[in-house]
Structure 1
Amino acid sequence: MVDWNKWAGIATDVLTTTAFAVVVENWLKMDDTTAYHAIREYVTTKPTAELDRMDAVLAELAANTVNRERAARLVRFYAMLKVAETVYYDEFRGFPA
């Protein structure tokens, strides 16, 4: 028997990850300064649960990208996300579990 709840959960995870990856791809199309401003705006307008998910997706993308320039840029974006969170929340929120 097929566990439809399991498959629905997997499908939701894939779609959610894809949506976050689209946001990151948009940042990659920008120059660094514009991307940093977009990341800061993202942090200040999204709920913490969404920031936590973006944190995990961005870290995963940076870790699994084989192109060194792209990976380095993703690491800088991840750092900017953490800095923007720290400034916005007035404390370091930590890393994803």
Structure 2
Amino acid sequence: MSIDRRRFLCRGAALSAGLLLAPGWRAWAQSAPMLDPAARQARAVRYVEQASAAQDDPAYRAGRRCANCDFFSAGQRCSLFPEHRVSPDGWCMSWTSE
């Protein structure tokens, strides 16, 4: 496998930029407000901050929570609520996993 000099330098520059921006990304992710369970979009998917509070919901299954959902990512972010953070111990009816 041969990597030419230009490709090597471009990849190195991209990696360096990523490393420099990583702390800023974490700060940005933590600066977003927590999702209010009373908000319209949260109520639409029956979001709760503690999965145990959803035990009476027919869509709930034990062990499912935001932290092990495919929509959840670092910084308490959920792709369903890009403007907000969610509780890792929370749950909503859109929970999914491969």
Higher strand share: 2
Higher helix share: 1
TM-score range, shorter chain: 0.3 to 0.5
Give the structure-2-normalised TM-score: 0.32
Larger Rg: 2
